Chain A
Amino acid sequence: MLKRTLRYMLCGLSLITVALPVAAQFEPEQASVEVLGDHRGQNWFWIWGSNAPMMTDGRAYLFNDDGKSLGMLNTGTWTNGVIAARTRDELYATEIYFSRGVRGKRTDVVTVYDAKTLSPKREIEIPAKRISALISTGLSVLSDDDRFLAVLNFTPAQSISIVDLENNRFVEEVATPGCASIYPAGPRDFYSICGNGGFLHLTLDEQGHVSKQERTEPAFDPLKDLLLTTASRMGDTWYFISQKNNAYALKMTPQGLETTKQWSLVSDEERADGWSVAGNHGTALHEKSGRFYVLMHQGPPEAYQEPGTEVWVYDVSTQERVARIELNEQSTAIGVSQGDQPRLYSLDWVVPMSSVFTTWIYLTEGEEALMPLLRQAINLYDADSGEHLRSIGDIPLGFLNMVMPW
């Protein structure tokens, strides 16, 4: 009996010794939460739009250079996107919320997000007046030292709220009648574009109060040619494009505003062929090379916000066009990363099926049958050569129309 018991025990032991290595190899997984690394120099980029028709659920999406989704932020009703700090690992969003979704008490806040965890760190309540508009450029902008945020309001009275991000407080609201999108021009200076073609220059003191306001002479004639509010900055100069296909270089400094260059984006022949500016956010700039990228297409003047088919590249020092990049899809917004191997990002409208099927639907049922099939995608190009690099599909629906390289 003892022998048999001993034999069983030995047998059991041998089984354990056989089973043990297997058990040692298995380690249960632990669920975790990703934390991002340093975004600098990685060619990462954000995209956003109004997120219509689900506008109460505003979002901004983050992707890496390979097209991998890295995460997202929830940014309130009819988002105007995010602003990235230069000196801190933070992102800011000026957000609108209602206590009952689309009704109830409205609260506007500046939410400060951690750039690595993508979690909110704190909120600063601001007057519940923030503008909501199709084009988000210039609606909420940072001073050059990251200290103050200027937020455009529209009730429809126009004003700007100043927020102190270092001391987490709303400072004051300043009336800016007749003026809209804001362009930073130093650590304490902003310019707001106005209906008469001039700009309103605001200078802040160290507490963020407006210490000086003055209106500039008109920089353009709004009865002849309207500047678009999308613009790209290089040093102290903002490069604008206009509805009639001109480029304007406006130098904005604490000392004042000066038009330093103005040129036509198209030749007479191209103008006659209908080439014109396109898209919702159709400019980008690579600072080191001084290359200015403009989204273009062929269409009548009233089609100036329709998607673009090409990107035309200009050298800002000579105002000469140095390249034309044919796009694979129809683009509503472009962006260019900085660095030595810049990427050209294009946020596109696509019908994700064979062109033969698309054409068949168009011919048999008309264009309106195609509209519900439209989806959005991102295409990446080498910004120097124009070579297509990769596509990112399956972007959630939401009328996305802005790309921000990070």
Chain B
Amino acid sequence: MAIKWFDEATEMFTRRTARATSRRGFLGGLGTMLVGASAATLLPVFRSSAFAQGNSALVEEGDPNSCDYWRYCAIDGFLCGCCGGSVNSCPPGTVRSDITWIGTCRNPTDGKDYVISYNDCCGKSSCGRCVCQRDEGDAPLYRPQSSNDINWCSGSHADMPYHCSLSVVIGVKE
């Protein structure tokens, strides 16, 4: 699932519109204008009221339920904060997987790189909200320690039904 879906879609729409219409001048110009406008609105929205909870030593900014949030740089799944949990807690009645894949994300607030553990929450069917896929450092499943394509509920106490994914900060690169 693309998260930067619109960038390429805009180009595709423009191309198709130009092919499909006899009024190429007008609609081609509209396409260009829209592409320009979209570039400006791609800037992330800062929401000062939205801070991650839990780790008092960690200073971070952004909306933990947005796929753009810094911790999600290597995630693939449904964000637990949209499913009854939070960025580092599983929703009620689910089971946290003990094993998982690891990513490294840069926190833009302090400029440091942190090790993120993407534990899954298991034992209920998939949440279905706030799907997010970002693949920085993602590897295919023959290197499972850094692969977000694998269902990490496999091996959990709840076995393999997958519900949502956490992003737990477990280390810092000083």
Q: Are B38 and A363 in contact (CB under 8 A)?
A: yes
Of chain A, the residue at the smallest CB distance from B153 is: A132
CB distance from B118 to the nearest CB of A (A): 14
B 158-174 to A, binary, CB cutoff 8 A, 1 in contact else 0: 11111000000000000
A contact residues, range: 35 or more
Of chain B, the residue at the smallest CB distance from A180 is: B142
CB distance from B19 to the nearest CB of A (A): 9
Of chain B, the residue at the smallest CB distance from A326 is: B15
B124: chain A residues within 8 A (beta carbon): 102
B67: chain A residues within 8 A (beta carbon): 368
A405: chain B residues within 8 A (beta carbon): none
A-B contact count (CB 8 A): 166
Q: Are A53 and B8 in contact (CB under 8 A)?
A: no
How many chain B residues touch the partner (CB < 8 A)? 56
CA distance A303 to B9 in the complex (A): 15
Residue from B15, B45, B139 within 8 A of A226 (CB atoms):
B139
Q: Are A298 and B134 in contact (CB under 8 A)?
A: no
A 40-76 to B, binary, CB cutoff 8 A, 1 in contact else 0: 0000000000001111100000000000000000000
Give chain B's interface secondary structure class. loop
B 24-35 to A, binary, CB cutoff 8 A, 1 in contact else 0: 000000000010
Decide: A349 near B159, CB < 8 A? Known: A55-B126, A156-B144, A226-B143: no
B57: chain A residues within 8 A (beta carbon): none
CA distance A53 to B150 in the complex (A): 16
Tell me if A194 is interfacial: C-beta within 8 Å of chain B: yes
Residue from A326, A359, A367 within 8 A of B5 (CB atoms):
A367
CA distance A302 to B76 in the complex (A): 12
Tell me if A179 is interfacial: C-beta within 8 Å of chain B: yes
Residue from B17, B128, B139, B150 within 8 A of A133 (CB atoms):
B150
Decide: A330 near B8, CB < 8 A? Known: A96-B160, A399-B1: yes
A229: chain B residues within 8 A (beta carbon): 140-142
B2: chain A residues within 8 A (beta carbon): 303, 306-307, 330, 349
B 63-77 to A, binary, CB cutoff 8 A, 1 in contact else 0: 000110000010010
**A: which residues have CB within 8 A of B?**
52-56, 77-78, 96, 98, 101-103, 106, 131-135, 154-156, 158, 178-181, 193-195, 222, 226-229, 297-299, 302-307, 309, 326-330, 349, 351, 355, 358-359, 362-363, 366-368, 370-371, 374, 399
Given contacts A53-B127, A180-B144, A355-B17, 5 further A-B contacts (CB under 8 A): A52-B78, A78-B162, A131-B154, A302-B136, A303-B135
